[in-house]
Structure 1
Amino acid sequence: MSSLKDAELGAFTFFASALPHDVCGSNGLPLTPNSIKILGRFQILKTIVHPRLCQCVDISRGKHERLVVVAEHYEKSLEDLLILCLAYETLQGLEYMNRHKMVHRALAPHNILLDGEGHVKLAKFGLYHITDLGADVDFPIGYPSYLAPEVIAQGIVKPTDPTQCERPLPSGPKSDVWSLGIIIFELCVVGRKLFQSLDIPEKLKLILALDCVDDIVTVLGEEHGCLDILKNLPENVLVLLRKCLTFHPTKRPTTTDLLVDSVFKEVTPKYTPFHKSAGLFSPTLRCADLILPDDISLLYKDETSDFLAERSIEEVYYLWCLAGGDLEKELMSKGIIRSKPPICTLPNLVLEDGESFGQGRDRSSLLDDTTVTLSLCQLRNRLKDVPGEAYYPLLGEDQSNVPHSSSNSELSTSTLPLIIRERDTEYQLNRIVLFDRLLNAYPYKKHLIWKEARVDIPPLLRGLTWAALLGVEGAIQDKYDMTDKDTPIPTDRQIEVDIPRCHQYDELLSSPEGHAKFRRVLKAWVVSHPNLVYWQGLDSLCAPFLYLNFNNEALAYACMSAFIPKYLYNFFLKDNSHVIQEYLTVFSQMIAFHDPELSNHLNEIGFIPDLYAIPWFLTMFTHVFPLHKIFHLWDTLLLGNASFPFCIGVAILQQLRVRLLANGFNECILLFSDLPEIDIERCVQESINLFCWTPKSATYRQHAQMPKLTSDINGVSRPSSTLNTDYQEFIKTDLGRESITLSELKSEISPRISVEDLIDLCELTVPSLPKLSSKKSKSIKPKLLVVDIRHSEDFNRGHIQGSINMPFGTAFTSEGDLAPCPASNTLQNFKGKVIVTVGHVAQNAAEFAAHLVKLCFPRVCILDGGINKMKLTGLLTVPSPQI
């Protein structure tokens, strides 16, 4: 991405051809508007960065098929500075376009701009590509005076049937060589414009008449009275003109041929070949092309330096929009967009006597070639108080989580709601600069990316940040390229059916280019995972990654491939019923753990998670929420482990809690058929709170992937226990959760937790392994209570320190209430905190926990393995004999 430097942002507008409203495609769906097709094709132009091309920044779709293109712009053009040697730079830009299978077709002096150093920048180089060779607009691409003879001979061909894929014959790259020849000719004869005295039909006739001319340059010189000027030109210039102005395209040289031609032997030493820098997720060394200047002091920037000009054009435009920039308003102020009263837009006015008055053709649908420079004054004024050091933050380990600014307003912004922070210009500048530096240091600074992502993620860099959080590394492009995405496979039909229904409200994903990218990424995933199959919902799962990495399919595929094993391990097996059923059962236990009243009500009316939660978890909520909500939700989801989606599901239910408790089965079905508006920021905050209250082993699933490290919601990677490392293997084999059958799991209302978790939560030491533990013995934390349901005799023989004894047989009255006793009072005092039931038999502990859930005790769980597994630790205590 090139920096702003001395460039400006320019905008120009045009209309796409309107399609009939009553026509559908072969699939029975309405035709995709031409403006959306153009919007999809435009995206690739953002990736074409070259010193000789004006970088494309953005495209905006307005009313009535209006499109506004924003690109790098300069006030000077070739019309202002006529230097023949600039032909070489123009050829460099054209040759780079040709490598990307693009043709300029609209080459003219005013589209060859000059930067502050006088170097060429080609403007509007993607117009021919994004309009599908001119098929999607009502105006021709190119200027009659500069079009090549073969282009003129072809004429303008418009598709007659919008439902068919008719396309005009494409112009070849050699047509730009002819246009360049005409421009060079005009440069040589300063002040003369070819064919200016003729109208368009006569221009075209004259150009086509050159077919029988041997020396076109001489004939044009005679025709325009400038033959004497041509005779005084250097020989190499005349040779270049004759080669460019070769009538037959088969004999005309290509841009590549001309760049190595001897006519430029005196020009080529000035230029070094352009090499695109290595991408972020690439095996190539990213710092290979970094060169320090001989004088290090040149890197020093004083307080008066234009720091904003050092940022990329994409960043500057993004900040310009945040600072109040409005493309249509800018174009209206320059008279490019004009509004008309509705009566003036009627094609004809018919009077009573039948006389009609009509207006001429509406020329607003034709191309207005004016480019409007977008003023950055408002943005610069907004950022005037941002100190210079904010553009170059330090990446130390003790780095603060707040934006790097000394102003109190910036510090306070970090505490505002996320939606406000994302629209604050100064705050986003700080976050973008910081994340840009951190991502450039990936994977070395991955831990700091995690740390900063806990605060928020700047939308402009969300795609790359997600990839870093998912641990994407290596030669992802090579792997994607080697995957067969073309050979037909059995799932092709289902993919074709699903894509036109997936987030089609979004203009980018609904474009034909978006559909094609969807298809390739999904097929790449299916082909590269032969043990898994395509299930409906995979397209929704792909949508966020494709949207954020629209021009980098390999990265979208890599992110998706890293996301699924972490959160949806084995969900896409051919027979995934056992995985789904286990997942939903654990989710039911999480509802009972966090909200027993809601759990009791849903179970009473038979509204089980199977009826509503499968699309939630199979698509990680992408099927039920629009993309802008998914972005905020996944910003936090990616910081948690595989159990975090359970907390999101519970948080959604809690937002609907009042309506769910008041409704029966049928009303709940209707409620979830059209899910009400969910406050995502509140959902995220509640999910984090639920996650922090949930013991790690409570969400254990035997069909889940077993990670080497468990990441908590704070982004800290840690082993599965906080105990001594040497103690890990002992815990893993003896004190962890044991697998149970699905029927056993379904029979239990409350989740189980492992002995390992209990030791961790109680902060107890292991007497049998004193050398492995450095902690001092502690009693149970006030936030946790262990309820031992064995007989009092067994309890007195040995129990967990700090636990209370409530024998199962006498704990409840015949009505199901707690029997009055001191232990019951203690239990009531701990209501709202974690309660662990312990017994000899798991069934008794599960029944006791179920009774507590019926009494609306939250956070009730069962000790897996009971007291017998606890004996292995040597942590049981015996009450001192009373004297």
Structure 2
Amino acid sequence: MPPLKDAKLGAFTFFASALPHDVCGSNGLPLTPNSIKILGRFQILKTIVHPRLCQYVDISRGKHGKINFIMYRSSMKVLQLAFEVLQGLEYINRHHMVHRALSPHNILLDGEGHIKLSKFGLYYITDHGADVDFPIGYPSYLAPEVIPQGIVKPKDPTQHERPRPSGPKSDVWSLGVILFQLCVGRKLFQSLDIAEKLKFVLTLGCVDDIVTVLAEEHGCVEVIKNLPENVLTLLRKCLTYHPSKRPSAAELLSSNVFSAVSSGYVPFRQPASLFSSALRCADLDLPEDISRLCEDENNDFLGERSIEEVYYLWCLAGGDLEKELVSKGIIKSKPPVCTLPNLLLEDGESFGQGRDRSFLLDDTTVTLSLCQLLNRLKDVPGEAFYPLLGEDQSNVPHSGSNTELSTSTLPLIIRERDTEYQLNRIVLFDRLLKAYPYKKNLIWKEARVDIPPLLRGLTWAALLGVEGAIQEKYDATDKDTPIPTDRQIEVDIPRCHQYDELLSSPEGHAKFRRVLKAWVVSHPNLVYWQGLDSLCAPFLYLNFNNEALAYACMCAFIPKYLYNFFLKDNSHVIQEYLTVFSQMIAFHDPELSNHLNEIGFIPDLYAIPWFLTMFTHVFPLHKIFHLWDTLLLGNASFPFCIGVAILQQLRVRLLSNGFNECILLFSDLPEIDIERCVRESINLFCWTPKSATYRQHAQSPKTAGDCNGMNKPASGFTVDYQDSTKTDLGREIIQLSELKSEVSPRISAEDLIDLCELTVPSHGKMNIKKTKSSKPKLLVVDIRNSEDFNRGHIPGSINMPFGSAFTADGELVPGPASATLQSFKGKVIVSVGHVSSNSAEFAAHLVKLGYPRVCILDGGINKMKPTGLLTVPSPQI
């Protein structure tokens, strides 16, 4: 991404052609507006960065199909000019594009006098002119082979008939006309109207020396004769009538014509991308004196940032593109009465409005002022643009600004709209990502604060651990051969987040199709299930111009959070997942769990789309972004907490509703406060023992410390994100039927030892050392009879024999033990017995009585005996 430096932001606009309102496509859906097609095609232009091209930054779709562009705009000799123009043309030709609108006012000069080609993507994004009501190109500069085509508009918008596109050699002719004008110092064909101009160009096919004929026609033969031989040769090559004989831009660049100037140019090399096998520092050139890097000549720190960053900050600072275009008179609004259609009579006579000239191309480019942004950032210190990176840095922004430190405590939606705060976050994350994977730990640390929206796609990829030659792997995957799931993919894509203009564009559909097919083909042991398209949507949206990265993120995300969900027979995986979720509801909200179970409203009826798509089928993309910013910091059990947090937001309505009302409620899910959902999910997660969400069909953890922890809850104990390593004190695999029969979750003996902060003797099988806190964090309830309890029990536990713990009405029998139990209500309570069945029944009784955070010790007291932790009561004196 080139820096801003002395460049300017420029904007221009045009209308796309309107489509009939009462026509549908072959799939029965309304036709995609041409403006959305243009928006989809435009995205690739943002990736075309070259020293000889003005960089496209963004596109916006206004009312009535109005398209607004934002460009990176900059303010010689003939051979140098021609060589640099050809460099730009050759580069866009390599991307299978043709300029077609090449003219003198689209050839700009930057501050150093070098060429920048402007508006080179207009022909491509309008589907070679089919999606607009005006021609692409200027009559005086059109090549002879282009003129006979005229303006070809498809007669039937439902058909895919399109005009035959112009070839790249048409731009070489246009360059020849421009160079001729530059040499003779006058504009060609000024005395002719458009029709005569075109006729004259077509007659040139009958002459051998077009340059001489043009010179005679404009009275400048002597000027042409006095041109250097290499310049004259160049003009004759460019102004070759037949395209087959006319050289391409690449051929001209390698010809002897430019032997005198080509040596002064260094070949352009595309910088290595973040996720690739190329060495990113291969072309790094450091001065001999490193201190020169810190020389401050003009304090233009913002000018060193990329044009994308500057435009993003400009928008945050109050920049309004449409307002700028209206103020310059480019966009003109009319009263509704002035926009009525005209009336056409049978004899052909018409009354009313004539053709609206605003639907034609206005070639004016408006320069956008950066004054408002500069004023907003005038108090930002220079240190903010060069943050120090170190492992011991705090997880708050690193600019040292008191304003920023206070901003970091504000709600996320406010932080994302704060210009100064986003500048600091963007600069920091940009540096961290450039150091990925070396600074991976710091990326995790900063992501727990928040993720700047501009860099969310790259940051997600870093959090998912994407590395290596992802483009090569994606290119090697067959995305073209028909497969059985093609039909289902074609049906699903037009229904996936189609409210979004980018994903609803034909280009978006094509990218959807390729990424999904790549995933299906590269995972032969898995199958395509409905919902995979929704999972793909966030990654594709954030990496629209990098399909390989979207695919790589999907490949990393699914095994982590949806392991084996896409098996051909995934019923056992889904059922286990829903059962654990049901136990999580009982663990965190027993009252809600009791009510939902009583009315028969089980998770199978509403939660499958939640987890199969990780909530992307439930929430719009802007909410998914904030939700996944936190989800990606957690392990596979975090989605359970998100699900419980959603239910708790609907708690009042759910408790007052019956089965039918709950079904209706979830058929059109009410508005969910995502920031509150995330905050409560974190709290729920921290209160959940790590083994309580153990699943037989979950992916085994590969590395420890993957998420570097999260937050400490109010209770004081820290919860690790990783499932515990499998030991003889870990969770045992049980049958699904047994798991379904238990209301409360099980925890492992290892978890119990951690939460009790017990110290295992060094001769035992584990050696866990904990520092005891002043207040106990959980209560162990031993439901064995008193004799067994006195032979050995867990330190700090209380004895409540199961047979005498409850009255006939199901209430707790009054006594010291029940009083202690009541005092621990709200903390973790662990039911321990000889066998899990009795412990599960005891836990179910407590849940019925409204006790939250009740769980069962997996394996019972027998699991604790080998540890040497059991104690006996002191003898009474």
Shorter-chain TM-score tier: over 0.9
Structure 2: any 5+ residue segments left out of the alignment? 712-716
Q: Within 5 A, what are the aligned runs for 1:734-745? A: 734-745=728-739
- SS where residue 240 of structure 1 aligns? helix
**Counterpart AA for 2:90:** E
**2:372 aligned residue:** 378
1:530 aligns with 2:524: yes
Deviation at 1:304?
A: 4.0
Q: Structure 1 length as normaliser, TM-score?
A: 0.96
**Counterpart AA for 2:728:** D
- SS where residue 315 of structure 2 aligns? helix
- SS where residue 735 of structure 1 aligns? coil
Q: Distance in 2 between matches of 1:715 and 1:232?
A: 77
1:164 aligns with 2:159: yes
Q: Distance in 1 between matches of 2:98 and 2:635?
A: 48
Matching residue within 105, 112, 116 for 1:110: 105
Deviation at 1:769?
A: 2.6
**1:815 aligned residue:** 809
- SS where residue 12 of structure 2 aligns? strand
**Counterpart AA for 2:457:** G
Q: Is the 8 A contact 1:764 1:779 kept in 2?
A: no
Deviation at 1:299?
A: 1.9
Cα distance change on mapping 1:12 and 1:598 into 2, 3 Å: same
**1:59 aligned residue:** 59
- SS where residue 536 of structure 1 aligns? coil
Deviation at 1:293?
A: 2.7
**Counterpart AA for 1:405:** S
- SS where residue 827 of structure 1 aligns? helix
**1:629 aligned residue:** 623
**2:129 aligned residue:** 134
Q: Structure 2 length as normaliser, TM-score?
A: 0.97
**2:47 aligned residue:** 47
Deviation at 1:342?
A: 1.4
Deviation at 1:732?
A: 2.8
Q: Is the 8 A contact 2:528 2:566 kept in 1?
A: yes
Q: Is the 8 A contact 1:641 1:710 kept in 2?
A: no
Q: Is the 8 A contact 2:59 2:67 kept in 1?
A: yes
Q: Deviations over 1:145-173 (max 9, x none)?
A: 00000001222211111000011011000
Q: Within 5 A, what are the aligned runs for 1:164-203? A: 164-190=159-185, 192-203=186-197
Q: Distance in 2 between matches of 1:780 and 1:297?
A: 54
Q: Deviations over 1:186-232 (max 9, x none)?
A: 11112x00111100000000000000111100110110111111111
Deviation at 1:2?
A: 1.1
- SS where residue 172 of structure 1 aligns? coil
Q: Distance in 2 between matches of 1:483 and 1:203?
A: 51
- SS where residue 39 of structure 1 aligns? helix
Matching residue within 138, 145, 155 for 2:150: 155
1:89 aligns with 2:119: no
**1:10 aligned residue:** 10
Matching residue within 309, 318, 321 for 1:315: 309
1:670 aligns with 2:664: yes
Q: Distance in 2 between matches of 1:614 and 1:780?
A: 42
Q: Distance in 2 between matches of 1:356 and 1:722?
A: 78
**1:430 aligned residue:** 424
Q: Distance in 2 between matches of 1:879 and 1:355?
A: 108
Q: Distance in 2 between matches of 1:700 and 1:295?
A: 57
- SS where residue 728 of structure 2 aligns? helix
Which runs of 4 or more aligned residues in structure 1 lie more than 6 Å from their structure 2 counterparts after TM superposition? 721-724
Deviates more, 1:219-228 or 1:653-662: 219-228
**Counterpart AA for 1:155:** G
Matching residue within 462, 483, 503 for 1:468: 462
Q: Is the 8 A contact 1:546 1:553 kept in 2?
A: yes
Matching residue within 585, 597, 600 for 2:594: 600
Deviates more, 1:775-784 or 1:544-553: 775-784
Q: Distance in 2 between matches of 1:87 and 1:649?
A: 62
**1:441 aligned residue:** 435
Q: Is the 8 A contact 1:178 1:245 kept in 2?
A: yes
Q: Deviations over 1:632-674 (max 9, x none)?
A: 0000000000000000000000000000000000000000000
Deviation at 1:350?
A: 11
Q: Deviations over 1:484-541 (max 9, x none)?
A: 0000000000000000000000000000000000000000000000000000000000
Q: Deviations over 1:6-55 (max 9, x none)?
A: 11000000000000000000100000000000000000001111110111
Q: Within 5 A, what are the aligned runs for 1:301-700? A: 301-302=295-296, 304-348=298-342, 357-700=351-694
Matching residue within 812, 829, 834 for 2:828: 834
**1:78 aligned residue:** none
Q: Is the 8 A contact 2:812 2:818 kept in 1?
A: yes
Q: Distance in 2 between matches of 1:779 and 1:290?
A: 53
Structure 1: any 5+ residue segments left out of the alignment? 76-80
Q: Within 5 A, what are the aligned runs for 1:207-226? A: 207-226=201-220
Q: Distance in 1 between matches of 2:855 and 2:459?
A: 37
Q: Distance in 1 between matches of 2:392 and 2:642?
A: 31
Q: Within 5 A, what are the aligned runs for 1:861-876? A: 861-876=855-870
Deviation at 1:347?
A: 3.6
- SS where residue 150 of structure 1 aligns? coil
**1:845 aligned residue:** 839
Q: Deviations over 1:595-643 (max 9, x none)?
A: 0000000000000000000000000000000000000000000000000
Cα distance change on mapping 1:677 and 1:779 into 2, 3 Å: closer
Q: Is the 8 A contact 1:800 1:875 kept in 2?
A: yes
- SS where residue 164 of structure 1 aligns? coil
Deviation at 1:328?
A: 0.7
**Counterpart AA for 1:14:** F
Q: Distance in 2 between matches of 1:778 and 1:361?
A: 83
Cα distance change on mapping 1:417 and 1:526 into 2, 3 Å: same
1:101 aligns with 2:96: yes
**Counterpart AA for 1:73:** R
Q: Distance in 1 between matches of 2:803 and 2:772?
A: 31
Q: Distance in 2 between matches of 1:170 and 1:339?
A: 34
**Counterpart AA for 1:844:** N
1:773 aligns with 2:739: no
RMSD between aligned residues: 2.0
**2:23 aligned residue:** 23
Q: Distance in 1 between matches of 2:619 and 2:821?
A: 40
Q: Distance in 2 between matches of 1:263 and 1:38?
A: 38
Q: Distance in 1 between matches of 2:349 and 2:506?
A: 45
Q: Distance in 2 between matches of 1:407 and 1:869?
A: 54
Q: Is the 8 A contact 1:498 1:539 kept in 2?
A: yes
Q: Distance in 1 between matches of 2:719 and 2:311?
A: 50
Q: Is the 8 A contact 1:762 1:779 kept in 2?
A: no
Q: Deviations over 1:724-752 (max 9, x none)?
A: 9xxx99x7331000000000000000000
Q: Percent identity?
A: 85
**1:235 aligned residue:** 229
Q: Distance in 1 between matches of 2:349 and 2:242?
A: 52
**Counterpart AA for 1:857:** Y
**2:714 aligned residue:** none
Q: Distance in 1 between matches of 2:291 and 2:437?
A: 30
